[in-house]
Structure 1
Amino acid sequence: MKLTERLGKEWVFFDGGMGTILQEHGLKAGELPETWNLSHPDEIIALNLSYFEAGCDVVNTNTFGANALKYPDNLQEIVQAAVSHAKTARQQADREDAYIALDIGPTGKLLQPMGDLPFERAVELFGETIRIGAKAGADLVLIETMSDSYEAKAAVLAAKENCDLPVLVTLIFDEKGKLLTGGTVDSTVAMLEGLRVDALGVNCGLGPKQMHPIIERLTQISSLPIIVNPNAGLPRSENGKTVFDIAPAEFSDLMEEIAGMGVQALGGCCGTTPEHLRLTIEKCRKVPFRPPVAKRRTVVSSFSQAVEIGPKPVIIGERINPTGKSKFKAALRENNIEYILGEGMAQEDSGAHILDVNVGLPEIDEPVMMERVVTRLQSVIALPLQIDTSDTTAMERGMRLYNGKPMINSVSGKMESMEAVFPLVRKYGGVVVGLALDENGIPSTAEGRIRIAKKIYDTAEKYGIPHEDIVIDGLAMTISSDSGSALVTLETLRRIRDELHGHSILGVSNISFGLPQREIVNSNFFTMAMQSGLSCAIINPNNEAMMKSYRSYLALANLDEQCAGYIAAYGNQPAAAPAAVGGTAMPLAESIERGLRERAIDAAKEMLQTVPPLEVVNNELIPALDRVGKGFEKGTVFLPQLLMSAEAAKAAFEVVKDAMKGESQQIKGKIILATVKGDIHDIGKNIVKVLLENYAYQVLDLGKDVPPEVIVDTAIKEDVPVVGLSALMTTTVVSMEETIKQLREKKPGTKVVVGGAVLTQEYADSIGADCYAKDAMATVHYVDSVFGV
């Protein structure tokens, strides 16, 4: 029986730890676990066998880190061997009813624009491993321990494009329910459901107890089978080995409790053993199974935000669109992306929930521009985007590179349109706008528009696109040429809500085209439309009359609890100044906080004409970074924005340095950064490097997979007082401990700060670190304290 025929219909049990058990069997510090597929095949077969015999339905191949970055010369041999060992173990266990999962872990790199790995290169890397594993006989692809939703999307697309196996995804959230790059449970579920994965869930990082809030939210919002694979509690070091604090009996009791929360698949991660899983399976099989329930939610998401359509009207900002905007057209022709970002930020500040993105001009390459604008916008703005184009090539480029589940504007009732757009929505996910028009044009009656809406729903269903992923545009036509058009539109909205039980959208301002004082008509029609059931309004959120209509409607319709939103906007508090847009100058500090590199350069040059360079650094650059850092720590600023701000500050600082030529430039101190031996995952280290350099520290970056001796020798030679060490994998933390030990012996007094997804305060203490940094800003604060800044 295929796995997809069992997932969500009965209990499915996954295996447990791999690297932590191999350590117990002799895997040395810094030794790559996947090499044991070739050097210790019997050990791998025996471990796979023990999981099959424990009753696990899904056993992972030893390929977590198997990609061409780590194994450029023998990737095929390693992956083929891993699958072969799992197949041998399954045969020995006589478990032909069980499945072999091709285990796909992260590359260890940040994707552009935050990092240096292009999205398409990530797809290629994952695709190469997946092709080999699928051909070798894997039964499914398990994409696990993903801390970046963008990388998870790259892996899912690679799986979908290179095999026809089931695709399952588990992510690594922190205790606040956030991914490293800022994703939430809501935003990642929306994206993965849109990508049509077969199951999703959470693994690693946390023990069963700490996962409860995440699991609760998953069961509330996900329509897919949910997988839960926790660690055996939290790690610590004992006698040079990584151990976990939850024994098999306690672990199985905790998993029995999780089984009762409404999940469908259970297993383990770091620190769990075949005995952990044997007891878990024994107890959890007795728990009544609850299949997943379709939630029927209409959700659009970015990397960090999810906007649900339905509970109350949603504002879609219309300003990123060249129609009738000469300055915007000029910005597109001149490739002035900063102008476009400014328009987006102004709408975000004014209360938009989603931003419409239309970059179509006859004289430009629209697919290239769509790609450029989408990737830049999502690096500095947290709002979800609506990809608005009639060019399906541009549409696909935007959808493919989008980090989340976008809105798509649009498809019509024409068969040609549906046949072009629905396959893209099926592949990449999205909430698509359905225009109530077809080959015969725009019906003059609500009945005709509802008929086309039903046609769009029915055709979408044939492509596997559910009712909730369609939002019908009732079409607002100007009353200047047809005085009854508003009434037809309003009736259409009511029938979409009451008869079709669907959601609607309008380009509201179309209603007044050709009339004087248009905002009078627009704002009143907007209120009427919301009362008639309008779900989404494409408007200019910078227009105060429209926003007054919106906020007052929410208050009157009991959609604004205790009128909090209305009071915040129109109470005694001074209104927040909107972001500068278009060609308006933006102060240096704000440019940095917004992550606008080019504007930061221009602002720095202008400021240097009247302000001494050191004052620019001390009064603008550093305070701006401090504010962004505090926002990051509070959870109001996310990692992409933090990094873009740091890059903007770095660019501005280069301008300042040029102005300081011949002057002494103050360096606060020198620090070594390294990812320890055996680990190629340098995301955390690279983030810390960017920030430290912006805080005027000289960073000696030794790279990744760095032996302890190299770190110690460099610290002695350069007389460095602080060393920063990072590791992602449990199997490489022992190298971190060895590095600290050698530093203590050969360069006593050197301070060591450590970080990484597998670390905790207790673990850092047990290996002798001076500081555990839970994030990049914590490292900056500690280094400041060491240097007395």
Structure 2
Amino acid sequence: MDVREYLKDHILVFDGAMGTMLQNKGMQVGDLPETLNFTHPELVTEIHREYVEAGSDVVSANTFQANEFKLHGCGYTVEQVITQAVKLGKQSGAKFVALDVGPLGQLVEPMGTVKFETAYELFRQQVVTGERAGADLIIIETMSDLYETKAALLAAKENTSLPVIVSLTYQGDGRTFTGTDPITGTITLQSLGADAVGVNCSIGPDDLIPIVEQILTYAQVPVIMQANAGLPKIEDGKTVYDVHAEEFAEAVSRMMDRGVRIVGGCCGTDPDYIRLLRKKADGMKPVATNPKRVTAVTSGTRTVVLDRCVTVIGERINPTGKKRLKEALRENRMDYIVGEAINQANAGADVLDVNVGLPEIDEPAMIARAVKEVQGVTNLPVQVDSSDPAAIESGVRACNGRPIINSVNGKAENLAAVLPIVKKYGAVVVGLTLDEDGIPATAEGRFAVAKRIVETAAEYGIPKEDILIDCLTLTASAQQEQVLATLDAIKLVKERLGVKTVLGVSNVSFGLPSRPLLNSVFLAAAFGAGLDAPILNPLSKEMMDAVNTFRVINYQDRDAVRYIDRYANAQPAQQAAVGEISLKEMIVQGRKEEAPAKVRELLQTTPALEVIDSHFVPALDIVGQRYEKGEIFLPQLMQSAETVKASFEVIKASMDAGEKTQSKGRVIVATVLGDIHDIGKNIAKMLLENYGYDVIDLGKDVPIETVVQTAKEQDIQLIGLSALMTTTVKNMKDTISAIRGAGLNCKIMVGGAVLNEEYAEFVGADFYVKDGRESVELAQSIFR
């Protein structure tokens, strides 16, 4: 039976933690669990059978880390590990065996060095092997980066016919490590074709309930919940969890009562937990939910819902009439596009249109790059704007989140070319009211085209909430009699079709003087007709004045808070023009292409170290404060760090020998023996270097003696140790014991996903740091 069919009438029960069971059965610290498929196959099969006997419908093959990055040097290939693991799962007698796909363990662009296409190929290798080996479904789990998750999901959907369940892992603040919230994750992943979505790992079931409730509110597909057995703690030198099986099952059953259809356990859970879950599941039928159906687009960290809201789509990344942008595109430079993205975001845009259409460039390649660059410096969703289907698909594929596609029209050939792309990537699409006969002169004519677009989209499985109709603005200077037809057409589309509308506003004033005046009045009239999403210039004071005013009238700006803030005492806060940008602002905004030139300019009159102290450090302090407050997230933090890194290269080249010897302090960073996860360590390294510290990166899976010997030879004052797996915490403790035993007079800070203050005390560290930002603050307190 297909698991999708089974889910229609049953609650699906997964197994619990493989790692916990392997540890309980004697797996040694530092062992790679996947190698046990060969060295101890009977042990892996035994664990699967224990879960099946406890009531698991699904066992997860022992393949969580079965990718080329993590298996490197272990002696087995990805194909060998997955084939053997699925075979062992099949021997358990489970109804279903899931190929378990975890994160790669390295950051994907723009935060890291792994290309999206590379991540896709690594995941493709896994899922193709899994299907060939006989897996019944794929579970992509414990994911914290939405962009990496997209690569995995596309690899599964494009290369296999298996059902795919996708589960993100959320922290205590309700967001993933890279900043994705539950609504954004749910809307994005189900639009990309996930057969079920949800959450696993990180925290216990009670703490996950608010997150699961948000997921259930928007999930059009079944929801999965696989919590940890609470938080880990140390008792008698062993790792234990603070939520017992009865408490765990009770909390999860409350969420089954609210509509969760797939349950299981993560870290710390064993067959006792699953046995009680099975008993709860057998006593109830799947509960139907009534999720919200909304028109929404997303980035990696933000959702924009168009329902009852004015959504401003920034129009300025478009080469039409922009000489400088055309030159930048021809020269393959991104600085102009990045600047426009930042300026529009600061001016109040909600979505950014990205159009790079020039006949002499490779548009598909350029639009993919432009989308990545724009999303690297802002948290706004994008609108991929092109008349070329190949460019549209390239841009949408490169997008992190759920974009808008601009556009499709009423021509049969165009509908057939673009709508399959819309469906495949789950995008929202703009429908232009023109067809083979051009733009109809009347409102009824444009409505007829809109109706055809909506009906054809439905044939592809695209619901009307995923469609925006553009009734097209014509110029008042040449087609004045048709301006009102646009407004009338908007009314008809809203009343008869019930879909959202979008409009390029500024076309109305082409060829006339005082264009901002005419644009703003036309925009106000369009709002009155029912316009939802104007495409406009956010840097225009007149246009944004109209937007901000209407947001009070339509109850979007509750209690006129934003309006009062902008216009109290007749002091509008709107940015009307963009002036000279300081190096500090460039760093804060992440303008990594522009910053090096600014550094060279400053060095003509300012000593190198003064540039660092006056620009680098204050900028990073601002970024760090915004990150701690949740105003920005890891992608923006890393973009600013990359900007400093690029700027430092200019500084280093200019410094004389005396300056080069100056350092704020020397720090060792390392991921401990047996642990191959180095994301957190790499982030800490970059931030420490940004602040002027000399960082010695020993890498991952570092032998204890290497840490001790390097600290002794380099006279180190601060060591940072990282671990992601509970199985390697003992090695962290042993490393610290060796450092102390060598009589080294240095401070030790520890961090990693499995660590907390209690663990830090257990391993003998001086300090616990939750992220790279805290490691900088600690270093500043030590090196005074």
Candidates 85, 91, 101, aligned match of 1:82: 85
| 8 Å CA contact retained: 1:328, 1:340 | yes
In 2, the alpha carbon distance for the partners of 1:470 and 1:497 equals: 12
| 8 Å CA contact retained: 1:224, 1:292 | no
| 8 Å CA contact retained: 2:249, 2:276 | yes
User: Structure 1-normalised TM-score?
Assistant: 0.96
Q: Does 1:641 align with 2:636?
A: yes
| 8 Å CA contact retained: 2:567, 2:573 | no
In 1, the alpha carbon distance for the partners of 2:743 and 2:26 equals: 29
- The alpha-carbon deviation at position 337 of structure 1 amounts to 1.0
The residue matched to 1:69 in structure 2 has which SS? Answer: helix
Q: Does 1:7 align with 2:4?
A: no
In 2, the alpha carbon distance for the partners of 1:260 and 1:785 equals: 50
CA distances 1:629-685 after superposition (whole Å, capped 9, x unpaired): 111111112111111111111222222233321223421211111122222221111
> Aligned pair in 2 of structure 1 residues 577, 672: CA closer, same or farther (>3 Å)?
farther
| 8 Å CA contact retained: 2:68, 2:122 | yes
- The alpha-carbon deviation at position 212 of structure 1 amounts to 2.0
- The alpha-carbon deviation at position 190 of structure 1 amounts to 2.1
| 8 Å CA contact retained: 2:45, 2:92 | yes
| 8 Å CA contact retained: 2:624, 2:637 | yes
Residue aligning to 1:418 = 415
Candidates 162, 165, 168, aligned match of 1:165: 162
Candidates 722, 737, 740, aligned match of 1:741: 737
Name the aligned partner's letter for residue 81 of structure 1.
Q
Candidates 767, 772, 776, aligned match of 2:772: 776
The residue matched to 1:272 in structure 2 has which SS? Answer: coil
Aligned-residue Cα RMSD (Å) equals 1.8
Q: Does 1:731 align with 2:744?
A: no
- The alpha-carbon deviation at position 575 of structure 1 amounts to 5.5
| 8 Å CA contact retained: 2:192, 2:425 | yes
Residue aligning to 2:621 = 626
The residue matched to 2:683 in structure 1 has which SS? Answer: helix
| 8 Å CA contact retained: 1:255, 1:284 | no
Q: Does 1:682 align with 2:678?
A: yes
Candidates 109, 117, 120, aligned match of 1:123: 120
In 1, the alpha carbon distance for the partners of 2:121 and 2:309 equals: 41
| 8 Å CA contact retained: 1:508, 1:539 | yes
| 8 Å CA contact retained: 1:270, 1:730 | no
- The alpha-carbon deviation at position 371 of structure 1 amounts to 1.6
| 8 Å CA contact retained: 1:101, 1:142 | yes
Residue aligning to 2:70 = 70
Q: How many residues align?
A: 780
In 2, the alpha carbon distance for the partners of 1:269 and 1:603 equals: 49
| 8 Å CA contact retained: 1:172, 1:205 | yes
| 8 Å CA contact retained: 2:217, 2:291 | no
The residue matched to 2:239 in structure 1 has which SS? Answer: strand
In 2, the alpha carbon distance for the partners of 1:305 and 1:729 equals: 29
Percent identical residues: 48
- The alpha-carbon deviation at position 368 of structure 1 amounts to 1.9
Moved over 3 A (4+): 238-241, 572-581, 747-750
> Aligned pair in 2 of structure 1 residues 633, 519: CA closer, same or farther (>3 Å)?
same
In 2, the alpha carbon distance for the partners of 1:470 and 1:775 equals: 41
| 8 Å CA contact retained: 1:9, 1:291 | no
CA distances 1:208-242 after superposition (whole Å, capped 9, x unpaired): 12212211211222222111101000012334432
In 2, the alpha carbon distance for the partners of 1:169 and 1:573 equals: 50
Residue aligning to 1:554 = 551
- The alpha-carbon deviation at position 261 of structure 1 amounts to 3.3
Name the aligned partner's letter for residue 636 of structure 2.
Q
Candidates 679, 695, 699, aligned match of 2:695: 699
CA distances 1:472-511 after superposition (whole Å, capped 9, x unpaired): 1111122333333122211211122221111111011122
The residue matched to 1:390 in structure 2 has which SS? Answer: coil
The residue matched to 2:719 in structure 1 has which SS? Answer: strand
Residue aligning to 1:356 = 353
In 2, the alpha carbon distance for the partners of 1:205 and 1:115 equals: 22
**With CA pairs under 8 Å and 6+ residues apart, which has the higher RCO, 1 or 2?**
1
- The alpha-carbon deviation at position 172 of structure 1 amounts to 0.9
| 8 Å CA contact retained: 1:87, 1:100 | yes
In 2, the alpha carbon distance for the partners of 1:738 and 1:252 equals: 36
Q: Which moved more, 1:165-174 or 1:260-269?
A: 260-269
| 8 Å CA contact retained: 2:70, 2:105 | no
| 8 Å CA contact retained: 1:204, 1:229 | yes
| 8 Å CA contact retained: 1:494, 1:533 | yes
Q: Does 1:134 align with 2:131?
A: yes
In 2, the alpha carbon distance for the partners of 1:615 and 1:104 equals: 48
Q: Which moved more, 1:745-754 or 1:515-524?
A: 745-754
CA distances 1:335-366 after superposition (whole Å, capped 9, x unpaired): 23111111111111111100101011112221
The residue matched to 1:363 in structure 2 has which SS? Answer: coil
In 2, the alpha carbon distance for the partners of 1:367 and 1:585 equals: 32
Residue aligning to 2:341 = 344
The residue matched to 1:150 in structure 2 has which SS? Answer: helix
Q: Does 1:258 align with 2:261?
A: no
| 8 Å CA contact retained: 1:241, 1:734 | no
Residue aligning to 1:658 = 653
In 2, the alpha carbon distance for the partners of 1:502 and 1:161 equals: 30
- The alpha-carbon deviation at position 549 of structure 1 amounts to 1.0
| 8 Å CA contact retained: 2:99, 2:138 | yes
In 1, the alpha carbon distance for the partners of 2:686 and 2:523 equals: 46
| Structure 1, unaligned runs of 5 or more | none
Residue aligning to 1:299 = 296
In 1, the alpha carbon distance for the partners of 2:731 and 2:572 equals: 53
CA distances 1:438-473 after superposition (whole Å, capped 9, x unpaired): 222222222222222222122222222222111111
CA distances 1:741-762 after superposition (whole Å, capped 9, x unpaired): 3323334543222222222222
The residue matched to 2:720 in structure 1 has which SS? Answer: strand
Q: Does 1:325 align with 2:322?
A: yes
In 1, the alpha carbon distance for the partners of 2:154 and 2:622 equals: 37
Residue aligning to 2:596 = 601
Name the aligned partner's letter for residue 641 of structure 2.
A
User: Structure 2-normalised TM-score?
Assistant: 0.96
Q: Does 1:30 align with 2:30?
A: yes
Name the aligned partner's letter for residue 730 of structure 2.
V
| 8 Å CA contact retained: 2:729, 2:763 | no
CA distances 1:3-42 after superposition (whole Å, capped 9, x unpaired): 1123354311111101121111111111100011001101
Superposition map of 1:265-276 within 5 A: 265-276=262-273
Name the aligned partner's letter for residue 707 of structure 2.
I
In 2, the alpha carbon distance for the partners of 1:573 and 1:641 equals: 33
Candidates 749, 753, 759, aligned match of 2:749: 753
In 2, the alpha carbon distance for the partners of 1:580 and 1:559 equals: 26
| 8 Å CA contact retained: 1:187, 1:305 | yes
| 8 Å CA contact retained: 2:384, 2:405 | yes
CA distances 1:293-340 after superposition (whole Å, capped 9, x unpaired): 342111111111110112211100101011122222222222231111
| 8 Å CA contact retained: 2:157, 2:193 | no
Q: Does 1:16 align with 2:13?
A: no
The residue matched to 1:628 in structure 2 has which SS? Answer: helix
- The alpha-carbon deviation at position 62 of structure 1 amounts to 0.4
> Aligned pair in 2 of structure 1 residues 674, 489: CA closer, same or farther (>3 Å)?
same
> Aligned pair in 2 of structure 1 residues 9, 529: CA closer, same or farther (>3 Å)?
farther
| 8 Å CA contact retained: 2:566, 2:573 | no
> Aligned pair in 2 of structure 1 residues 180, 771: CA closer, same or farther (>3 Å)?
same
The residue matched to 1:211 in structure 2 has which SS? Answer: helix
| 8 Å CA contact retained: 1:443, 1:449 | yes
Q: Does 1:612 align with 2:607?
A: yes
| 8 Å CA contact retained: 2:296, 2:306 | yes
In 2, the alpha carbon distance for the partners of 1:573 and 1:737 equals: 62
Q: Which moved more, 1:514-523 or 1:691-700?
A: 514-523
The residue matched to 1:202 in structure 2 has which SS? Answer: strand
